[in-house]
Amino acid sequence: MATRASAPEVENAIARTVGDLGFAHFAKLDQGPLVSLLGRPKRMTVYLLGNPVLANTMFEHKPEIGLYAPLTASIFEDRSEATHFTYDRPSTLLQQFENDDVSAVARTLDDRMPRLVERLAARE
């Protein structure tokens, strides 16, 4: 931003930061430590992830999609200490905008999220 990069320069920079599934990790919120003080110990973390290039294609049509992009995912341990990865299906969140271009991006993200889950599970 400081160099006022062109759109192709920004796209190239983003391409270098996203994985082969096209996701970048923007933020991590570790909810466990604070809520553990209120009861039993908990391990739970929320992540913001996405792709600014894909998000921008939706923002061009409906800027209010910024409420849903980047995507939110959560990794948590249940009472039996099993680990879970959960997220909202992008197409479910974005269908309210009734836009074919937005729906196409949402379907792309729908296809990628289960593959991300598989990759995370394989790391365990």
**Percent of the chain surpassing pLDDT 90:** 90
CA dihedral 100, 105, 111, 112 (to 10 degrees): -170
φ, ψ dihedrals at 21, nearest 5°: -85, -5
Decide: pTM greater than 0.85: yes
Cis peptide before 70 (omega within 30 of 0): yes
Q: Which architecture, in CATH terms, is 7-123? A: 2-Layer Sandwich (3.30)
**74-90 per-position pLDDT tens digit:** 999 999 999 999 999 99
- What secondary structure, in 3-state letters, does 34-73 show? HHHCCCCCCCEEEEEEECHHHHHHHHCCCHHHHHCCCEEE
Q: What is the residue-averaged pLDDT of the chain?
A: 94
Q: What's the CA gap between 10 and 81, in Å, rounded?
A: 41
Domain residue spans of the chain: 7-123
* Most distant CA pair in the chain, distance: 50
**50-64 per-position pLDDT tens digit:** 999 999 999 999 999
